[in-house]
């Protein structure tokens, strides 16, 4: 049965909100934690966001739109990847929500992805996001 299953990954990072925000929005850091992708965006609400790279020997260009930007707190954008095999239609886009919360001198980073068709698809996405947020943690903590 198809539905709107959400994949959620969270990690506590021993770094302030400002440092974690810097990591998730800096193209050089994104390249490091997001499988070598090139990030192109100006972070303007309503504006485009593009990720370009190569996955398993195939070039790709994923895309989406910036929905919300609250520096140091929250970033929301859509995401579409042709690698998923679906048509480029609004119903095939995911919304990714990055939430940063201060926790005991550090930051709780939560990343959620909606619009997964099945529980299995959400679990697959969560596994990928778990690795990604762990990499964000490593980059943010090394300063």
Instruction: State residue 61 phi and psi, 5-degree precision.
Output: -140, 100
Confidence band for 93, pLDDT divided at 50, 70 and 90: very high
Q: What is the pTM of this model?
A: 0.91
pLDDT digits (tens, 9 = 90+) for 3-29: 689 999 999 999 999 999 999 999 999
Look at the block and give the residue holding tokens 């810097």: 22
pLDDT at 72: 95
> For 64-92, what is the mean pLDDT?
92
Q: Is 8 exposed, middle or buried (0-12, 13-18, 19+ CB in 10 A)?
A: middle
What's the CATH number for 5-142? 3.30.530.20
């Amino acid at each position: 049965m198809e539905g709107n299953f959400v994949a959620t990954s969270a990690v506590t990072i021993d770094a302030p909100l400002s440092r974690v925000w810097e990591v998730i929005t800096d193209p050089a850091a994104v390249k490091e934690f997001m499988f070598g992708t090139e990030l192109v965006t100006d972070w303007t609400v309503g504006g485009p966001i593009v990720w370009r790279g190569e996955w398993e020997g195939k070039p790709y260009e994923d895309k989406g739109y910036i929905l919300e930007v609250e520096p140091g707190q929250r970033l929301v954008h859509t995401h579409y990847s042709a690698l998923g095999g679906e048509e480029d239609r609004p119903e095939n886009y995911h919304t990714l929500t990055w939430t940063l919360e201060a926790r005991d001198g550090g930051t709780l980073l939560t990343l959620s992805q909606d619009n997964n068709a099945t529980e299995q698809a959400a679990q697959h996405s969560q596994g990928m996001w778990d690795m990604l947020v762990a990499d964000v943690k490593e980059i943010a903590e090394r300063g």
